[in-house]
Structures are given as C-alpha cells and as structure tokens.
Structure 1
Amino acid sequence: MAVDPDKAVLDAFARQGPEGPLVMLNLLRFTPDGRPSYEEYSRRAAVFLSRYGGELLYAGDGAAPLVAGEGQAWDAVLLVRYPDREAFCGMVADPEYQRITALRTRALSEAVLQPTAPWTSRPGARPS
C-alpha cells in the first residue's frame, strides 16, 4: 500500500473543489520501529504547517475499533486543517518540506490521507 500521494493524485486534488478550508484525515500504521521516525517528521513538519497556514487539530493513538473490518485498526490518527487546497499543495511541493518526507515514508507501512470539507461548505448540507 502506498504511504505517499503521487504527482497525478496531487494534481487532481489541486483541481478539485470546493474552495476554502479543509481538514486532512491521516490514518497511520507504523512499521515495527517507525514511531520515532514519524515523531521526528512531525517535529520538523510543524514548521511547514505554520508556514502554509496549517494547524494540527488532533493527534492520538488508535484504540481497538468498535466497528471495523479485519485489518482496519490504525496505530495513530491525525486531523490537520489547511486554509485551502493551494496551501496543502504548496506545502508538499516545497523543496525544504520534501527533504523531510523520507522520515514519514520510512515510518509507515500503510496510510490513508483523506481530504475532508466541512458540511457547511456544501449548499443544503447540514450535519445530523
């Protein structure tokens, strides 16, 4: 399973709507010795989050899932807010940021990076 988005996926993401803020859901499964590498990546990535207007909303360890299929438990969950798609794409394209991504790649055996948009950004949508 891929742990980093490829260029074609990022290009398509940049062209999609809606505009405005988004929250990126990160589901992470670490390699056996990957947590220290991910912690170092996180420490270094904080500089880039700040530079591009991102904000770590939540980071926590995964617990036993209450509803999930076999193999759907995750080691960690992060929620990161970005002001818009352009900010996220700018961050991941930043050459300085790209120099630290090997720490993340090395740390993970599997990952989900799921962009989300607030329900209020869609006409007629209401949270239940």
Structure 2
Amino acid sequence: MKLPEFEEVQGPVLMLNMLKFKDRKYYFETYLPAFRKATEKLGINDVKIRLACNVAASILAPESEAWDAILLVEYPSASAFKTIAESDVYRDIADPYRLAATDTLHLYMTTPFEL
C-alpha cells in the first residue's frame, strides 16, 4: 500500500478504523496478533488500541455505511504508521489475515485538538 506523505503531521496520531467483517473472530484472534508480531519485528512497540466497540445502530448514516465495529488505534507518529503499512514485514505477516477477515475497512488519521 503506497500512502501519501505525512511529514506535516506532528506527534501521536489516532487511526479511526471503521470495519465491516467477513469474519470478526478471525480478525481479533488471528489478524491482531499477527499485526502485533509485525510491529514488534519493525521495532514499533508502542501502538495501542484506545477504543474498540461494536456499532449498535446507524443513526445519521445511509444503510450502505453500516459498520460492524470501530477501533481507535494510537500510533506514536504518522511516520510510524506509514512505516508499518508500507513494510514487507506487515505485508507478509499480517496483511493476508486482515484481507481474509475484513470485507471493508476505512481508515482516517486523526490528531487531537483542544476544546
């Protein structure tokens, strides 16, 4: 996966993962451990799942945008995310499991702001 340049994004980033599953159990029991193994091999050990939840109902969204789950995953930086996503290590160890487990995945890179 070739990603855009993120050099202007500073500090930790939160990736909003919006998921439709082919196989929910496979995602959590096979893909996530493989993802952890890939990040460890890359020396990026501070990736944290900050929120994992089922989508109970779509309120202000078309039915076509119904999601099964949402994960909010913190990466130490945008460049750490990019390193993982573009690496052969991730592609070989984890990505086949993600593809097998998910029907649709939308990712949004977010950064915090003060209210």
TM-score range, shorter chain: 0.7 to 0.9
Task: Report which of the two structures shows the higher radius of gyration computed on alpha carbons.
Answer: 1
Aligned length: 110
Match of 1:55 in 2: 48
8 Å CA contact retained: 2:51, 2:72: yes
Instruction: Map 1:1-128 to 2 at 5 A.
Output: 6-7=1-2, 10=3, 12=4, 14-31=5-22, 34-39=23-28, 40-49=30-39, 51-52=43-44, 53-99=46-92, 100-119=94-113, 126-127=114-115
Higher RCO (CA 8 Å, separation ≥ 6 residues): 2
- Could you tell me which amino acid in structure 1 is paired with residue 67 of structure 2? W
SS of structure 1 residue aligned to 2:83: helix
The TM-score with structure 2 as length reference comes to: 0.82
CA distance in 1, matches of 2:39, 2:53: 18
Identity, in percent, stands at 31
Deviation of 1:44 after TM superposition, in Å, equals: 1.8
The TM-score with structure 1 as length reference comes to: 0.75
Identify unmatched segments of 5+ residues in structure 1: 1-5, 120-125
